[in-house]
Amino acid sequence: MNAIITAPELASDLAGPNPPVLLDVRWRLGGPNLRSEYENAHIPGAVFVDLDSELAGPAGAAGRHPLPDPELFGAAMRAAGVSENRDVVVYDGGQGWAAARAWWLLGYSGHPSVRVLDGGFAAWSGPVSSEIPSPAPGTFVPTAGARPSLDADGAAALARTGLLLDARAGERYRGEVEPIDPVGGHIPGAVSAPTSENVTEDGRFLPSAELADRFKSFGVTPATEVGVYCGSGVSGAHEVLALAVAGVPAALYVGSWSEWSRDGDRPVAVGPDPQ
């Protein structure tokens, strides 16, 4: 199944006999959450999911958005109506990062059918609602590890033996600025590949062939083991999604730079070159 779905395709599915569960994951880095926007207008039937409290654990040594507690995550998904035998579609405001985090986490936790609305809520031209739904409880129970992930040691090793992509903006990779984490720069050996360049101006993904060409330019081949990191495992999930659209499997380093940069024993590279 394709990892993304267009707005017309979603409208068709919602009108069909087995409509998907809809999750609204609108989010702003640094908060507050965008529940007020959801309450004002959302795709009918969509349930709001808060990235910071439901798709991540408390910030700390493991990063700003570590994996959530499986029991709490499972309870949040069941409350939203998620079951393992029902398709799920996730969307955010249009940037795609938060929706990709939900897509990645549900897939990592064993859900077999999750798609991201390409272009997010901004791409939706159908009816909207301010009614807060009360879905029947779902049955989804997370089982970790269905998608590949990396810890810090794994990311360091992959930067040497495979291809580790840094999904952040180039200036953060180069260490010219660092607005959030303790220090700027990148994991030695990682290649700069900003995820913002995987989409058009309106937030839709580039065609799969163009994405494949872009990743090939970074060194992706059929035999390449690929991993991705970002600041805290959110925009990195978006790059993993872009790679999936291009037909390339990739692992996510969930702790990402927010974990790596907090460990003073971890090396830091600066400048435009991987090393």
**Catalytic residue numbers?**
230
> Residues 3, 4, 5, CA angle at the centre, nearest 5°?
135
